[in-house]
Structure 1
């Protein structure tokens, strides 16, 4: 992990965006997602395009992103382009990254040649790569949330990058996002990470319960889960979210993988992007090719049902909430709980900035 590099502060209009957090102690404050960008198979070049692709039930399996991501400088250029776009969408000047108060967390494949450092290592500040196969981008998201709540950074970039896709999130503490006038796309209520060791099933249940406990939520507070992996994952969902739902709605279960394939280190962020868009639109899109899935688990063990058809997602007695899982082949499990954005404040801040594109790679 790179230490913080002392560099001259950029002019104050940029530095205002990442003012230091006054209370660095860990707490229950949610983290806000304020910007997103992506590139995925099928010509998906934006979160809006990804939502169209999923909601229309289209396929893009087997292709690479338009510019095949080779390890090294080209990978950095692709991540830079997506990062610049995510910042512009958040109306944050890219020049703010020169101030060294931004945390940069990337999920990468374990075989990537990162030239001895993070794929974000050309920028000052806190930078780290997570290389735990398919769990990489959600582990990066978890680490970013921890760093924001501790006050290690005031803004966080989370990237998932592989030769099959790339996704980037811009995250900030909710209080900072509100103070700086950012449009809040969704909240990260909590996240959890653990390692399977030699017992996969219990660890996947534990990581779900840990995320729920950190958020102060019950299983009935979650409407939908994004994942649909192997039978071990299905059993973990049935044993956790499938319990305590008698007389209520089941947990709806879906996956973006049939649409775009398994995008390796970028698959966790793909699920996050899908669920953020679903919460904003109030729709749960159907999952493709799940006819055989009921044979892979005992569905009578809990109140979980597959999204075989598109469903409306109305606002109920609690905000829309979604769980996103990445239970990795290497044994690392990550679980994130998302919540729809709160209503805008009656008197929002007016310190938002127009987008800039002054960031350059080393």
Structure 2
């Protein structure tokens, strides 16, 4: 099997190379899959995609004519591929069922702590020679109410971390995690009640038609004034214009974001000495109480190893058996 790996980066290629053990023919490109690069797949049997790639119905049709039979996603989420179209064309798609949930959960915690304890501002003031503490007051997490939207593996890991801080936990998820309730005393409730009662809100749910722009003006208006808002899930779960409005009114005191709804053209690229043509993003990152990281929550050695091993396992399963247990369609 000949495989083209789209959106290859310096951080993931070594892990993929190690996971193959030289048994698969991988060809790498740093280009993302889009209308201009889809033709690179000619002559390959399979492709591997990352979160920065889009596989629309139109592109899938082209991939099918090029002879692509398999698509191995290097991610848990699959909102960037038209599964219905892939299914109709007979193209098999498999994702990464899971990787280290601690990577993202710990990053969400880092964003929260950095914002709460004013670490970025403190460092800037110190570099200026200003060692005054007047503008660096935070709050104890102990005893605060933390609302967690989505209690899958990552949300559950985050809940356990917050439980360790001594927080009261609220959750919103269609499926209650009974084990998590026993371990953390977390209380499941409606998303409205979660917003109304939480001092910190962290998103850990997948992006799908039901969750797209779920966090919008209506829910922001129901939040407690001064809430801390964390999103390490998917950017399009949050309406950014409404988020900015909530920041401006003071409803949201601070926001830690590892994702952004229009991140595809911004994140994972070098924009030094280049202007980012996105006014919404410019406004968002100009807020002193907003901390944005470039979708790096997953970026730990353990997670990268898990992603690489599962990706290669899917490709090997197709190579030798024609079927993978992680197929989505």
Per chain length, whose mean CA-contact separation is higher, i.e. which structure has more relative contact order (CA < 8 Å, sep 6+)? 1
> Above 0.5 in TM-score?
no
TM-score by length of structure 2 reads: 0.29
More helix by share: 2
TM-score by length of structure 1 reads: 0.27
| Structure with larger Rg | 2
More strand by share: 1
